[in-house]
Structure 1
Amino acid sequence: MEKLTPQDIEKKLLRFPDWEYYDDALHAEFEFDNFKDCFSAMSRIAFECEAQNHHPEWTNVYNMLSISLSTHEANGVTDKDFKLAEAIEMIVEVQE
């Protein structure tokens, strides 16, 4: 996987309004109605991560889920991160 340039990342982010780029990673924060809904989304995301063999750095506090995506082998953001971000968006959208 080839690391994307900051310009390429900014262009791709136009399709992902919930995501930001900083510290060589994509970042998003999602708020749910309660812990159960948040944990349910995390479980669904976990299955997708396994299917893509790409795993985020994430934290959860009550109804808040913070996610950071980068490709460690490339030391930055690649198309692989955007593919996972798109899947996460679909999962979170269904959850709402």
Structure 2
Amino acid sequence: MEITKIQIEELTKTNWKITDGKLHKLFNFKNYAEVINFTMKVFEIVEKHNHHPEIVVNYSKVEVSVNNHEEKNISDKCYLLAKDIDFINNIPSI
């Protein structure tokens, strides 16, 4: 099922954008250790969702892009993954 306008509006409030038919967000961190910590948390979530985004890792940034590869659109599955990625980004590291 394709993502709804309401879901898109909700994601744009947390800085997700639609670019080239994908949900896209840039996450900024203080250092590489934070980047790797976040990326590992994302890995755990994408495995649970069985929905795998494109992830570009840089020293202090992580770019995440997600769409439904089979259907070539942004689905509700993409929406749920984006929400969970936002959730883990807001959990403080121990």
TM-score by length of 1: 0.87
Q: What is the RMSD computed on CA atoms of the aligned residues?
A: 1.4
The amino acid across from 1:36 in the alignment is: A
2: CA distance, partners of 1:15 / 1:33: 26
Quote the residue 2:55 is aligned against.
58
TM-score by length of 2: 0.88
Q: For 1:5-84, list aligned pairs within 5 A.
A: 8=4, 10-16=5-11, 17=13, 18-84=15-81
1: CA distance, partners of 2:72 / 2:32: 32
2: CA distance, partners of 1:14 / 1:51: 25
Return 5+ residue gaps in structure 2 as ranges: none
Residues 9-48 of structure 1, C-alpha deviations (whole Å, 9 max, x = no match): x431221221001211100000011110111011011011
The amino acid across from 2:75 in the alignment is: T
Q: What SS does the corresponding residue of 1:89 show, helix, strand or coil?
A: helix
Identity percentage over the alignment? 25
How many residues of Structure 1 are paired with residues of Structure 2 in the alignment?
A: 91
Tell me which protein shows more helix as a share of its residues. 1
